Structure 1
């Protein structure tokens, strides 16, 4: 059994059930997923300020996962909260939702567009991550839906309308030929893929599937790149 601890970097459990239902559809039969939510911190992640409030508690959960014998850790948030710190602290594989999505999307097309939530701070952070991971030349655009992550969870029909509008603009106006949904756990990617007839990457699924591959290949991040503190 390959055991993955998924960390939600928010102090609300609203995402746990939909996340687990989604992942159970796509995980390998020999994969066990445990979802944990931080005990303190923000209720949603939409800015660098929110990230800073969450990192300490994310790191605590990650270190606990390794002590408890988990085989890998997934960061569910698209802003990859605390990813580098976790990689420094842990020996088991740690992958972020944004990181996984960008790598997967780069295999599927020449330009990708990201549709996300939050405010300008979230867009800036995503731009920084795209540059950091080396995908600047493949980014067609980042488009923002005028709903917060928490609103995403309770206004799903409105969310679908808004992301479809932005996805069509991303394809028609920005030249995107792959779409990444830049918010985890909403399970709208299959529906959106049917609407636009292009590949749509769900970050939550992407990070779990990449961790499964790393596990099968007995690979983890380089400790030369991420040395112990």
Structure 2
């Protein structure tokens, strides 16, 4: 099985950190390919702009990946950049980390507490959650106030704020599961198990969910419906 993971541009050490996290999520025997697009996820702090501007680039990679024999494609991160567009252009599964982790979380509990990097990302997250029909399962969304580019140098502060925000979601909003909508928080910087031990509730891993959802779809021979995503035809 061959999966293509589409990544934005990161500094070399940050890029390698994320690639290693992806490889740890894959099952034995799954081959992971990486493609880097000219996108600025690590520099531009606007989730909606990042997602919309990267969409056509992800879709272009999806078409090439299908031609090159890849079985599925996963855009890195929970913005799900290009997922909707790519599904209209290819027949291999296109799996978004944000959509897949929230749907998995909704199977486990109807009270999800969501954590973002910054509050400015929350409006776009809400739009996505309504589109994915999971908004009713989300009790609250809170940011930790650490921009993505500062995640490594502020690693200690990230952990402290994550625990504080998660505890507030659990104690004051009755969240039963914590969903980090940012794969740099979990699993790139911290494992979900580390947070679970301190919080006493499950903590989701969006990156692992997306990779293993893609693997499951390939094994089951499933992909998106052409009724939902009519193929784009050229006249």
Match of 1:154 in 2: 153
In 1, Cα distance between equivalents of 2:53 and 2:23: 30
CA contact (8 A) 1:108 1:199 kept: no
Tell whether 2:6 aligns with 1:11.
no
1:82 corresponds in structure 2 to: 82
* Local SS of the residue matching 1:163: helix
Q: 1:214 aligns with which of 210, 217, 232?
A: 217
Task: Spell out the pairing of 1:170-209 with structure 2 (5 A cutoff).
Answer: 170-186=169-185, 187=187, 188=190, 189-209=192-212
TM-score (norm 2): 0.89
Q: CA deviation at 1:202?
A: 1.2
Distance in 2 (CA, whole Å) between partners of 1:56 and 1:217 is: 28
Aligned to 1:110: 110
Aligned to 1:97: 97
Q: The residue matched to 1:214 in structure 2 has which SS?
A: helix
Report if aligned partners of 1:115, 1:142 keep a CA contact under 8 Å in 2: yes
Q: Deviations over 1:38-81 (max 9, x none)?
A: 13555446332222322222222222211211100012221211
The count of residues paired between Structure 1 and Structure 2 equals: 226
Q: How far, CA to CA, are the matches of 1:83 and 1:207 in structure 2?
A: 12
2: CA distance, partners of 1:42 / 1:201 = 22
Distance 1:107 1:18 in 2: 30
The 2-side partners of 1:225 and 1:67 are apart by 22
Distance 1:72 1:112 in 2: 28
* 1:5 and 1:72 in contact (8 A); partners too: yes
Q: Is the 8 A contact 2:112 2:176 kept in 1?
A: yes
Is the CA contact (8 Å cut-off) linking 1:130 and 1:136 kept in structure 2? yes
Q: RMSD over aligned Cα, in angstroms?
A: 1.7
Note the residue ranges of structure 2 that are not aligned, 5 or more in a row: none
Offset of residue 119 of structure 1: 4.2
1:69 and 2:69 equivalent? yes
